[in-house]
Amino acid sequence: MPKLLIEGGHTLSGVINVSGAKNSVVAMIPASILCDTNAKIYNVPNISDTNDLIDIINMLGCKSNFTDNTLIIDTKNVKNEVITSSYSSKLRASYYFMGALLGKYRHVELYLPGGCQIGARPIDIHLDSFEKMGVKITKEGDKFILDAKKLVGNELNLRFPSVGATINIMLAAVKATGKTTINNAAKEPEIINIADFLNSMGARITGAGTSQIEIEGVDFLDNGKISIIPDRIEAGTYLIAGSLIGKNLTINNLCSADLSALISKLREVGVNMEIHETSITVTSPKVLLPINVKTLVYPGFVTDLGQPMQALLTKCKGISLFEETIYENRMQHIKYLQKMGAKIELNNNIALFKGPVNLKGTNVTATDLRAGATLVIAALIAKGTTKIDGIKHILRGYDSLPRKLDSVGAKITLVE
Ligand code: EPU
């Protein structure tokens, strides 16, 4: 099993280039099969989620070429195969094949999706919405069978602005009969990116990025082309690391507008930042001030940066409070931060941090993707060496993390 060894205490200086967004590409690849002949996706991150989804489209009959962050997909021979758990359980986003295959064939057979164990993560909003579009859903053990004699647009009122449900509905609705309206839609930047990809194929989607999205079904989709937006979570992770141990560390190829909630929290902490549209240069201040952070849907403070932000709270002078509101089991990293010396009182999803403490290197385990990123940041500031197990979670979502950190001065080794 691969591990990361990180010797802490080395200042980070130089430039880190941010890759394309994981949470965009994981929907783009399933979306590509809606094209009748081909699709081109640029700025694709080289992460294991990308490669696992490429395996699924290849299994469905696509021919794909992934070179230099460009993914070219020939979709002429796509077939509607069952997506078995050996494919679907590798990642959460395999559920986007529900929407994409419904749109294309009106019929899907797919086993339960996988992904990080950060909560129960039900998919009732996806399934209720499909049902309202005329889909009959049967569950045989872990297998979902979705079948629609006719897929028809409808007005859908989401009980929560779920990112996955909003995207899955768009994927099904682009080729449904008539108009679909999604009320209380998710507004994350990735939703706009995916709508732009579908529109490049000839879909008719308006309102993406607002809480009401309208989709007029069309019969034919082709020649999809898109560049994946910068990964705001990857950018935020390196900004947090730079806030702790950076000296003129520039995070490049990002979109500052997508990071406004994080930027305003880092300002409260007292971090020195030079902010441009597509890059931010960060230097750690002498004293970090305590803050309160509560995760919310976009444009609030994103849950995916909640865990990495907690590495920073260990160094804030005084008492900081953190509350996770999106997932019920996203605090598994806390015991490892405590093992490294952090003073944290955890009460369900609220954590109280007493700082600053000097963290010490030890053996820890990444239990999920962002827990892994949190431990990497903690290790970068700790005294001594930290060994991180469970690296497969980190490799699912961070393109070339060891190389990028090494290039700005971290002492980090990936041990196979
Ligand atoms: N929810 C339901 N029912 C549903 C759908 C969601 O109750 O049918 C609940 C979930 O259990 C959760 C909340 O709603 O408590 C948010 O879920 P959402 O559907 O918005 O999230 P997701 O689509 O499952 C995506 C990202 C997550 C990211 C969230 C929120 C992908 C593959 N995953 O998940 O990314 O945290 O949106 O922004 O795009 C990560 O990158 O570390 C990660 C977990």
- Report how far apart the first and last C-alpha atoms of the chain are (Å, whole number): 6
- Contact of 220 with 37, CB cutoff 8 Å: no
Ligand 1 atom nearest residue 123's Cα: 8
Question: Can you tell me which atom of ligand 1 is nearest the CA of 327?
Answer: 15
Torsion of CA 264, 268, 272, 276, to 10 degrees: 10
Cα separation, 211 vs 277, in Å, equals: 25
CA of 141 to the centre of ligand 1 (A): 23
CATH topology match: 3-18+230-415 vs 22-227: yes
Ligand 1 pocket test, pick from 326, 374, 392, 396 with the greatest ligand atom count within 8 Å of Cβ, gives 326
Q: How far is the CA of 360 from the centre of ligand 1 (A)?
A: 33
Contact between residue 310 and residue 337 where contact means Cβ atoms under 8 Å apart = yes
- Centroid of ligand 1 to alpha carbon of 84 (angstroms): 22
What burial letters (b/e) apply to 19-47, b meaning 16+ CB within 10 Å?
bbbbbbbbbbbbbbbbbbebbbbebbbeb
Dist. CA 35 → ligand 1 center (Å): 26
Mutate to test the pocket of ligand 1, among 19, 22, 23 (most ligand atoms within 8 A of CB): 23
Is residue 164 within 6 Å of ligand 1 at its C-beta?
yes
Q: Which CATH number fits domain 3-18+230-415: 3.90.226.10, 3.65.10.10, 3.30.930.10, 3.40.50.920?
A: 3.65.10.10
User: For 7, how many CA atoms within 13 A lie in the half-sphere containing its CB?
Assistant: 5
151/147 Cα distance (integer angstroms): 9
Q: Quick check: CB of 301 below 6 Å from ligand 1?
A: no
> For ligand 1, is residue 307 a contact (CB within 6 Å)?
no
At 98 the pLDDT is 97
Residue 147 CA: distances (Å) to CA of 67, 130, 191, 203, 379: 36, 10, 25, 22, 49
Taking the model in full, what pTM does it have?
0.98
CA of 287 to the centre of ligand 1 (A): 35
Q: Is the CB of 123 under 6 A from ligand 1?
A: yes
Which one, of 88, 85, 82, 99, lies nearest residue 133 by Cα? 99
Using CB atoms within 10 A of its CB, is residue 375 exposed (0-12), middle (13-18) or buried (19+)? buried
Name the closest-CA residue to atom 43, ligand 1: 304
Residue 303 Cβ inside 6 Å of ligand 1? The answer reads: yes
Residue 66 CA to ligand 1 center (angstroms) comes to 27
Q: Where are the domains of the chain?
A: 3-18+230-415, 22-227
23 CB within 6 A, ligand 1: yes
Q: What pLDDT is stored for residue 164 in this prediction? A: 97
Phi/psi at 205 (nearest 5 deg)?
-115, 130
* Residue 370 beta carbon below 6 angstroms from any ligand 1 atom: yes
Q: How many CB atoms lie within 10 A of CB 268?
A: 15
Helix (H, G, I), strand (E, B) or coil at 144: strand
Among 250, 257, 203, CA closest to 226: 203
One pLDDT digit (tens) per residue for the chain, 416 residues:
899 999 999 999 999 999 999 999 999 999 999 999 999 999 999 999 999 999 999 999 999 999 999 999 999 999 999 999 999 998 999 999 999 999 999 999 999 888 888 888 899 999 999 999 999 999 999 999 999 999 999 999 999 999 999 999 999 999 999 999 999 999 999 999 999 999 999 999 999 999 999 999 999 999 999 999 999 999 999 999 999 999 999 999 999 999 999 999 999 999 999 999 999 999 999 999 999 999 999 999 999 999 999 999 999 999 999 999 999 999 999 999 999 999 999 999 999 999 999 999 999 999 999 999 999 999 999 999 999 999 999 999 999 999 999 999 999 999 98
Distance 327 CA to ligand 1 centre (A): 8
Q: What atom in ligand 1 is closest to the CA of residue 303?
A: 36
- In the numeric block, the tokens 């399933």 are attached to 30
Instruction: Give the pLDDT confidence score for residue 1 in this predicted structure.
Output: 87
22-227 is classed CATH 3.40.640.10? no
CA–CA dist 190, 206 (Å, integer): 15
Instruction: Return the pLDDT at 116.
Output: 81
Q: Which residues sit opposite 5 in a β-bridge?
A: 387, 413
What pLDDT score was predicted for residue 67?
98
Query: Quick check: 132 and 154 in contact, CB under 8 A?
Result: yes
Give pLDDT, residue 156.
98
Residue tagged 């955890």 (tokens)? 346
What Å distances lie between residue 267 and 103, 290, 340, 362, CA to CA? 45, 11, 26, 31
* Dihedral in degrees, nearest 10, Cα atoms 125, 398, 87, 129: 10
Give the ligand 1 atom nearest the CA of 120: 11
Residue of 162, 171, 296 to mutate, ligand 1, most atoms within 8 A of C-beta:
162
Return the active site residues.
116
Q: What residue spans of 33-134 are helical by DSSP H?
A: 48-59, 85-88, 96-105, 124-132
The DSSP secondary-structure symbol of 301 reads: B
